[in-house]
């Protein structure tokens, strides 16, 4: 997979130009880190989560506020992941009483609460005016070029993938899959479903917050509307399109999600006037891709044509 992604980056550099291609690669890696959190919660633990964007937002704001307070960006990243873990704990609280779609709706409510808090807590977040975020750096070096940003994001993504893969091979990973397949049977076998779900949200929240922290550095400015329900929807679709049962699904899904705006730009040039100006073209394209994935690769792009 690394070879395939490297080949795609090389083609993009030759076709689109180095700075633009590395900028897009940075976004893909950042989205993939945030999407890994969804893959853990949805694909491994089998929980419906509709508000994962809130955990990314918590990471973006935590990283920004810590850096503004004087904490070095590299040291702030683990603290940001800790904030995401705490957010995951709060988001998973209804899991003890609710299940399935009802629990998914409760995560949606959590996302709305977080977004509203970010808007109204102006003394801390500056509300809709947002916050300016400095470039990522360490030891006097700053990642202020697209190539440096892509390199940092790529390294963090590889570390996150390695840690997640190790977790999936552990007893905790087996517990997640047991809960996903049959909660009652897992309970009978001595696995505590509630504890397994809680740990999935802790890990998933940490990863999504980590992605949010890096996203804030690369974008350079954050505001609450960047992390609304549409963003949560994009993260869920990222995992669904890429394949929620496989960690590599986060990378494939991120490639599609980041490529969609570019595809829309091409489509707007090719479509006739009214169609080119139509609102909601992005959602239409999402829908078309989802239908194609369901028909051709039901388990996502990371799996085989028959879900293997």
Is the pTM higher than 0.95? no
Contact 36, 159 (CB under 8 A): no
Higher pLDDT, 299 or 281: 299
What pLDDT, on a 0 to 100 scale, did the predictor assign at position 294?
A: 74
Give the pLDDT mean for 174-183. Answer: 92
**Which residue from 260, 307, 249 is spatially nearest to 282, judged by alpha carbons?**
260
Give the pLDDT mean for 154-167. Answer: 95
Look up residue 42 and give its two tokens. Answer: 């949805």
Give the pLDDT mean for 146-173. Answer: 94
What pLDDT, on a 0 to 100 scale, did the predictor assign at position 20?
A: 84
pLDDT of 28 higher than 60:
yes
Give the pLDDT mean for 230-234. Answer: 88
Give the pLDDT mean for 144-172. Answer: 94
- Residue-wise pLDDT tens digits, 58-95: 999 999 999 999 999 999 999 999 999 999 999 888 77
Confidence band for 105, pLDDT divided at 50, 70 and 90: confident
Look up residue 240 and give its two tokens. Answer: 């669904």
Contact 294, 287 (CB under 8 A): no
What pLDDT, on a 0 to 100 scale, did the predictor assign at position 306?
A: 53
Q: How much of the chain exceeds pLDDT 70, in percent?
A: 86
What pLDDT, on a 0 to 100 scale, did the predictor assign at position 117?
A: 94
Look up residue 54 and give its two tokens. Answer: 């809130």
pLDDT of 308 higher than 60:
no
Q: How far is C-alpha 299 from the geometric centre of its chain's CA atoms? A: 18
Q: Give the best-scoring range by mean pLDDT among 86-95, 156-165, 252-261, 271-280.
A: 156-165
CA distance 43 to 49: 11
Strand pairing category for 141-142 and 137-138: antiparallel
Tell me phi and psi for residue 195, to 5 degrees.
-65, -40
What pLDDT, on a 0 to 100 scale, did the predictor assign at position 226?
A: 92
**Which residue from 255, 261, 254, 214 is spatially nearest to 236, judged by alpha carbons?**
254
Give the pLDDT mean for 169-187. Answer: 91
Confidence band for 138, pLDDT divided at 50, 70 and 90: confident
pLDDT of 261 higher than 80:
no
CA distance 273 to 107: 39
Give the pLDDT mean for 214-232. Answer: 92
Q: In sequence order, what are the residues at sequence separation of 6 or more whose Cβ sits closer than 8 angstroms to the Cβ of residue 255?
A: 5, 8, 28, 242
Look up residue 71 and give its two tokens. Answer: 């904490």
Residue 17, CA distances (Å) to 23, 45, 252 in order: 10, 40, 22
């Amino acid at each position: 997979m690394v070879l395939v992604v490297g080949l795609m980056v090389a083609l993009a550099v030759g076709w689109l130009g180095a700075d633009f291609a590395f900028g897009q690669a940075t976004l893909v890696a950042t989205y993939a880190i945030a999407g890994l959190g969804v893959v853990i919660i949805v694909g491994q633990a089998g929980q419906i989560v509709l508000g994962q964007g809130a955990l990314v937002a918590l990471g973006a704001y935590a990283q920004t506020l810590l850096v503004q307070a004087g904490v070095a960006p590299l040291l702030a990243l683990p603290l940001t992941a800790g904030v995401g873990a705490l957010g995951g704990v709060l988001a998973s609280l209804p899991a003890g009483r609710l299940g399935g779609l009802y629990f998914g709706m409760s995560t949606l409510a959590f996302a709305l609460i977080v977004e509203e808090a970010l808007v109204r807590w102006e003394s801390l977040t500056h509300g809709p005016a947002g916050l300016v975020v400095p470039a990522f750096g360490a030891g006097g070096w700053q990642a202020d070029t697209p190539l440096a940003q892509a390199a940092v994001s790529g390294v963090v993504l590889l570390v996150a993938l390695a840690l997640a893969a190790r977790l999936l091979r552990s007893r905790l990973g087996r517990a997640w899959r047991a809960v996903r397949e049959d909660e009652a049977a897992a309970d009978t076998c001595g696995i505590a479903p509630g504890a397994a779900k809680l740990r999935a949200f802790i890990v998933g929240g940490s990863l999504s917050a980590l992605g949010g922290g890096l996203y804030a550095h690369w974008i350079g400015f954050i505001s609450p509307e960047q992390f609304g329900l549409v963003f949560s929807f994009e993260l869920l679709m990222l995992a669904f399109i890429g394949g929620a049962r496989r960690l590599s699904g986060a990378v494939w899904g991120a490639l599609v999600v980041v490529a969609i705006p570019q595809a829309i730009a091409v489509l707007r040039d090719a479509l006739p006037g009214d169609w080119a100006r139509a609102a909601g073209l992005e959602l239409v394209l999402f829908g078309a891709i989802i239908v194609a994935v369901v028909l051709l690769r039901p388990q996502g792009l990371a799996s085989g044509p028959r879900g293997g």
